[in-house]
Amino acid sequence: MSIEQLLTTAAPGPNRWIYRPAPRASARLRLFCFPYAGSGPALFRRWVDAIPEDVDIMAVRLPGRDNRIKEPAYREWPALLAAIEDSLRDMLTGRFVFFGHSMGAAVAYELARQLSAKGGPLPAHLVLAGCRAPHVPRYIPAIHHLPDEEFYEGLRDISGTPPEVLADKKFMALLAPTLRADIQLAETWSGTASEPLAVPITVFAGADDAIAPPDRMPEWARYTRRQFAAHVLPGEHFFLHTAEDALLRHIRSTLESC
């Protein structure tokens, strides 16, 4: 993740929750992308050339980053999910797919679960990367409650925050509240296997990921009544950067089948 990915996308437009890097008004399918903790929608800008031309990327812009940097980030799941559902409701029409990485995958799953519980429209596919299943315990200690210096040190190991950002005290003062809030969401997310979704699920893991170990990713199978697939790609937790081409090939194939 670069500083650009943390802060820079086009102007918000009519819906500040969505960034569309290349609007495709006649698309047959919408791909809603949920970024990992601390990141913004620019993370998905490069995906435009790698996905089918009839898919419209709808990158979700959460509060506390990008041109919403002055808005406080959410720290509690119910409030976040209610706000996302309300903001995206008019766009959840036709066929659409949810993709998320790490915390973003948890958001994508929880939103799909909430829509299912209300009898609302469901994604044609749920694509989750670098995220343990809800009932799987965390493998690393929590850091969201630590004092700043200890929190920053913990970020070096678990986040995609660049070293130059961590070393910039003024910038970290601006970014830290959002990172802390996002990581609180990720670290407090848990649950048991709920009613399986009537949505196919595909999951991805990094071969050397210590946060979402690949050997536990197949446990996502219990969360769907439809098709399930699990893939392991080279890399650690942020394999969506280091193995981006391989990940996008899989995603493209999934989208073409929807």
Which residues face 7 on adjacent strands? none
Name the pairing type of β-strands 228-233 and 201-206.
Answer: parallel
pLDDT of 189 over the 70 cut: yes
Higher pLDDT, 150 or 233: 233
pLDDT of 195 over the 90 cut: no
When pLDDT is cut at 50, 70 and 90, the band that residue 192 belongs to is: low
Mean pLDDT for the stretch of residues 120-125: 96
When pLDDT is cut at 50, 70 and 90, the band that residue 160 belongs to is: low
Distance CA 213, CA 237 (A): 9
> So what's the pLDDT on residue 11?
44
| Interval 6-22: pLDDT, tens | 444 444 444 789 999 99
Higher pLDDT, 174 or 127: 127
Answer yes or no: CATH 3.40.50.1820 is held by domain 3-256. yes
Domain boundaries along the sequence of the chain: 3-256
Give the chain's end-to-end CA distance (angstroms, integer). 29
Distance CA 142, CA 252 (A): 34
pLDDT of 92 over the 80 cut: yes
Q: Which amino acid is at 252?
A: R
Distance CA 65, CA 188 (A): 21
Residues contacting 38, CB < 8 A, separation 6+: 1, 6, 65, 159, 160, 161, 175, 178, 179, 182, 183
| Interval 28-70: pLDDT, tens | 999 999 999 988 999 999 999 999 999 999 999 999 988 898 8
Higher pLDDT, 11 or 104: 104
When pLDDT is cut at 50, 70 and 90, the band that residue 83 belongs to is: very high
Catalytic residues: 102
When pLDDT is cut at 50, 70 and 90, the band that residue 169 belongs to is: confident
Look up the pTM and report it: 0.92
> So what's the pLDDT on residue 10?
47
Asked which of 2-6, 49-53, 139-143, 171-175 is least confident by mean pLDDT, the reply is 2-6
Mean pLDDT for the stretch of residues 133-142: 89
The enclosing H or E element of 96 equals strand 95-101
Mean pLDDT for the stretch of residues 145-159: 82
| Interval 211-237: pLDDT, tens | 999 999 999 999 999 999 999 999 999
When pLDDT is cut at 50, 70 and 90, the band that residue 193 belongs to is: low
Higher pLDDT, 1 or 182: 182
Count of positions (residues) in the chain? 258
